[in-house]
Amino acid sequence: MGKRNITLKDLSERLGFSVSTISRALKDHHDISQETKDKVQQLAKKLNYIPNHSAQSLKNSQTKTIGVIIPNLLLDFSSKIINGMIHQSRKEGYRLVISESGHNPDLEKDMLENMIRSGVDGILLSLTNNTKNIDHILLAKEKCPIVLYDKVSEKIPCTRIIVDNEIGAYNATKHLIDQGRKKIVFIKGAEHSFNAKKRFEGYLRALKDRQIKVDKNLIPQCDTVCIQEGTKLVNQMISKRIEFDAIFAVTDDVAIGAIKALKKHNIIIPKQVAVVGFSNSKGTTIIEPNLTSVDQPGYTIGIKAIEYLLKELKLAHQTEHLLRTTPKTIELKTNLIKRESS
Amino acid sequence: MGKRNITLKDLSERLGFSVSTISRALKDHHDISQETKDKVQQLAKKLNYIPNHSAQSLKNSQTKTIGVIIPNLLLDFSSKIINGMIHQSRKEGYRLVISESGHNPDLEKDMLENMIRSGVDGILLSLTNNTKNIDHILLAKEKCPIVLYDKVSEKIPCTRIIVDNEIGAYNATKHLIDQGRKKIVFIKGAEHSFNAKKRFEGYLRALKDRQIKVDKNLIPQCDTVCIQEGTKLVNQMISKRIEFDAIFAVTDDVAIGAIKALKKHNIIIPKQVAVVGFSNSKGTTIIEPNLTSVDQPGYTIGIKAIEYLLKELKLAHQTEHLLRTTPKTIELKTNLIKRESS
DNA sequence: TTGTAGGCGTTATCAG
DNA sequence: CTGATAACGCCTACAA
């Protein structure tokens, strides 16, 4: 084996042209003769010449690399987002460096620094549920453009790609009300989560619209957002003899946990209690009855996140510096998928 | 903002030392005076100096970047693998560029080329279910070290990280036989999948060990490996009045589909028919009854894949060329998780 | 202990 | 139409 990669210099020596001629010939530069171009391109192909990416990056001061930080890869929704990013970035000639923060703010900080250190043109960031201090993000933003997606914060002046959580939750709640449900439980999500808050607001607005009183007993709070927690909270409500005829949970997992609890107590779904989740993850069609859920366009979030980041990169490249664009918030539409559970 | 990144030259101008002194001071080179080091390191910190990664890559001809190609990100198992890779590569100071081939061999080829073009030190590859022609992989291998993981091929002379599919399937089948099941269905997976083949072999060996005859009617074949397919195939068997008392499916999704079909026909699980899946994905604890499944150590696969690739990189770096190491196959242990369905 | 010089591979400018 | 030269930022052998 033992082969060093082919360089322009190699081609130039083989063909007797100067390196710059070779470079231009390969780029179809207009003032190189067709004959030369042919020769060069042929040899390049034959030797399988591949331009050195590091050298190009160094020269153009752009790496064609985008960093992605995601709190938890182990979710259908995350995979969909990443998928959208992969496809769009590929289309645009960028590659993706992906990291997982595990909802740990220290890791998040570290990864942000690492990405910048290792050379990316921009970063797509979804915050951890525990990110309270945002200094490290503001600092990173000085060094390289950041676009927030899914888990965002209003305190960070960056473009944000999110779904209309509030409207999605409003519609889901209204859907339950329209069925005549009056005692609708809302299982709340992580304390500091922007999305969880918005969903709660949507729930409240729907109740208000239909003049249903808010009952604090019907609003339990998750410690961790998972199946077990949904089961636990519903079990608690049942043993406290709290009455309710519907459950709207902040995520599908929590809703699935709720269904499990209801079934254990022989409560008939949806006749006695209807259940709705949020995200439209794969589990919705595994659990029985199939779970009604608010679909979030994860794939599109990924696409849009790349698109908006690239817009900023182009702008920054033109003006040759990072600029404080007024941060836009892009809200994508959710869509209620009705299934057996409601 | 308008700030170019700080370079060694900037520091050198500010402090009046030459660039090389700065460079060495930052690296704690032994023959720089402590005083100089202090000054330099202080200023570097103050100005938030970050070495240019492209320049370093160019100089050292290594990018500290590993490419990962995965056929389908949208699986729990995939996420686990990627997670392991992320954590291990981070620990080793490498970053991960991730792509998804969508089980499309053309895309796979393209991504392989793209990765090499965009500069990675090595590649972790999991084949598509449809990869028949392997020329593009052999070609890529000439340019950069490749380690195969999960979906591998024996024809490709690369290190392989896999699980003991055959043993896992053998144990799962034996588990069913030990319960007195005699007519055990095996739902086969993708035609050209190495893993699917091995699982089938494990099933066959278990039957043989216990002198149970192989019945072709009990071995349907999936077109696509998904929930719907499991349901479809089981429905077909039932309507053909084929008798069976257990089902072992090539993946959890297929097993979940099978359970759905059985429940629709009021067949009691596991009393009348026991069901076992493969992968231990999240759905196993959502479906009711919870699905017995062969757990695959996805996270560890990720870790090992990085470890072995880095070993090869180090070797290649030492000897300054790619070398034909005899390809090892690393087999990780699976583990049967017994649940309600069997 | 510090500085000089050259090169990694590519590209842009300028000259011929 | 082609070639020489310098520069991107970093590193390191060699000099001083």
pLDDT digits (tens, 9 = 90+) for B243-256: 999 999 999 999 99
State whether residue A339 is helix, strand or coil: coil
| Distance between A208 CA and the closest CA of chain B, angstroms | 34
Closest nucleotide to A10: CA versus each C1'? C9
Ramachandran angles phi, psi of A117, nearest 5°:
-60, -40
Task: Report yes or no: A157 at the B interface, CB cutoff 8 Å.
Answer: no
pLDDT digits (tens, 9 = 90+) for A31-40: 788 888 888 8
Q: Are the C-beta atoms of residues B249 and B187 closer than 8 Å to each other?
A: yes
Q: Is the pLDDT of residue B66 over 80?
A: yes
pLDDT digits (tens, 9 = 90+) for B137-157: 999 998 889 999 999 999 999
Q: Are the C-beta atoms of residues A66 and A89 closer than 8 Å to each other?
A: yes
Confidence band, pLDDT 50/70/90 cuts, at residue A320 = low
**Is the shortest CB-to-strand distance from B11 to strand C under 7 Å?**
no
> Between residues 162 and 191 of chain A, which touch chain B (CB distance below 8 Å)?
none
Residues of B in contact with A87 (CB under 8 A): 100
Residue A148 CA to residue A218 CA, distance in Å, equals 32
**Is the shortest CB-to-strand distance from B60 to strand C under 7 Å?**
no
pLDDT digits (tens, 9 = 90+) for A119-135: 999 999 999 999 899 99
Q: Is A19 exposed, middle or buried (0-12, 13-18, 19+ CB in 10 A)?
A: middle
Q: How many Cβ atoms sit within 10 Å of the Cβ of residue A336?
A: 17
**Is the shortest CB-to-strand distance from B47 to strand D under 7 Å?**
no
Task: Report yes or no: A242 at the B interface, CB cutoff 8 Å.
Answer: no
For the residues B215-243, what does the mean pLDDT come to? 96
Q: Cβ A263–B288 below 8 Å, yes or no?
A: yes
Token readout for B13 is 């101008």
For the residues A212-239, what does the mean pLDDT come to? 96
State whether residue B14 is helix, strand or coil: helix
Residues of B in contact with A97 (CB under 8 A): 65, 95-98
One-letter amino acid at B37 equals K
Angle at the Cα of A167 from the Cα atoms of A163 and A169, rounded to 5 degrees: 95
Domain ranges of chain B: 8-51, 62-163+298-334, 165-295
Nearest by CB to residue B283, choosing from A119, A282, A322, is A282
CA B129, B130, B134, B138 torsion: positive or negative?
negative
Ramachandran angles phi, psi of A195, nearest 5°:
-60, -45
Give the contacts of B66 (CB within 8 A, at least 6 positions apart).
B85, B89, B94, B95, B96, B97, B120, B121, B122, B123, B124, B306, B309
> Between residues 10 and 49 of chain B, which touch chain A (CB distance below 8 Å)?
48
Q: In chain B, which residue's Cα lies nearest the Cα of A253?
A: B286
| Distance between A222 CA and the closest CA of chain B, angstroms | 19
> Which CA-bearing residue is nearest the C1' of C1?
B32
| Distance between A48 CA and the closest CA of chain B, angstroms | 10
Q: Which CATH architecture has domain B62-163+298-334?
A: 3-Layer(aba) Sandwich (3.40)
Q: Are the C-beta atoms of residues A268 and A296 closer than 8 Å to each other?
A: no
Residue B91 CA to residue A71 CA, distance in Å, equals 18
> Between residues 199 and 218 of chain B, which touch chain A (CB distance below 8 Å)?
none
Nearest by CB to residue B57, choosing from A5, A54, A78, is A54
Nearest by CB to residue A98, choosing from B53, B58, B86, is B86
Q: Is the pLDDT of residue A336 over 50?
A: yes
Residues of A in contact with B293 (CB under 8 A): none
Q: Is the pLDDT of residue A82 over 50?
A: yes
State whether residue A122 is helix, strand or coil: strand
DSSP string, B112-159: HHHHHHH--SEEEE---TT----HHHHHHHHHS-EEEESS--TTS-SE
Q: What is the pLDDT of residue B305?
A: 98
Q: In chain B, which residue's Cα lies nearest the Cα of A317?
A: B2
Q: Treating both helix axes as pointing N-terminal to C-terminal, what angle do B8-15 and B19-26 enclose, rounded to 10 degrees? A: 110
Q: What is the pLDDT of residue A2?
A: 41
Task: Report yes or no: A135 at the B interface, CB cutoff 8 Å.
Answer: no
State whether residue B99 is helix, strand or coil: strand
Buried (b) or exposed (e) across B20-47, using 16+ Cβ within 10 A? ebbbbbbeeeeebeeeebebbbebbeee
Token readout for B99 is 């792509």
Q: Is the pLDDT of residue B7 over 60?
A: yes
Query: Which window residues (34-53, chain A) lie with Cβ within 7 Å of strand D?
Result: 34-36
Nearest by CB to residue A73, choosing from B83, B95, B285, is B83
Give the contacts of A45 (CB within 8 A, at least 6 positions apart).
none
Task: Report yes or no: A3 at the B interface, CB cutoff 8 Å.
Answer: yes
pLDDT digits (tens, 9 = 90+) for A87-108: 999 999 999 999 999 999 999 9
Do the first three CATH levels of B62-163+298-334 and B165-295 match, i.e. the same topology? yes
- In percent, the amount of chain B with pLDDT more than 90 equals 78
Q: Are the C-beta atoms of residues B43 and B15 closer than 8 Å to each other?
A: yes
Q: Cβ B97–A97 below 8 Å, yes or no?
A: yes
DSSP H or E run through A162 = strand A159-163
Q: What is the pLDDT of residue A323?
A: 60
Q: Cβ B86–A78 below 8 Å, yes or no?
A: no
For the residues B67-72, what does the mean pLDDT come to? 97
**Is the shortest CB-to-strand distance from A210 to strand C under 7 Å?**
no
Residue B133 CA to residue B112 CA, distance in Å, equals 14
DSSP H or E run through A208 = helix A194-209
| Distance between B211 CA and the closest CA of chain A, angstroms | 36
A249 bridge partner residues = A187
CA at A52, C1' at D6: how many angstroms apart?
A: 19
Q: What is the pLDDT of residue B35?
A: 84
> Between residues 322 and 341 of chain B, which touch chain A (CB distance below 8 Å)?
322-324
Residue B173 CA to residue B187 CA, distance in Å, equals 12
Q: What is the pLDDT of residue B2?
A: 39
The mean pLDDT value of chain B amounts to 93
CA B15, B16, B21, B23 torsion: positive or negative?
positive
Residue A287 CA to residue B220 CA, distance in Å, equals 25
Nearest by CB to residue A2, choosing from B78, B79, B321, is B321
Q: Cβ B282–A287 below 8 Å, yes or no?
A: no
Helices (H) and strands (E) counted in chain B, each on its own, are 12, 11
Q: Are the C-beta atoms of residues B9 and B19 closer than 8 Å to each other?
A: yes
DSSP H or E run through A77 = helix A76-91
For the domain B165-295, what is the CATH code?
3.40.50.2300
Ramachandran angles phi, psi of B324, nearest 5°:
-80, 85
Residue A157 CA to residue A138 CA, distance in Å, equals 8
Task: Report yes or no: A2 at the B interface, CB cutoff 8 Å.
Answer: yes
Residue B230 CA to residue B287 CA, distance in Å, equals 14
> Which CA-bearing residue is nearest the C1' of D12?
B20
State whether residue A271 is helix, strand or coil: coil
CA at A31, C1' at C16: how many angstroms apart?
A: 15
* Residue A185, CA distances (Å) to A200, B162, B279 in order: 11, 46, 35
Task: Report yes or no: A282 at the B interface, CB cutoff 8 Å.
Answer: yes
Q: What is the pLDDT of residue A236?
A: 97
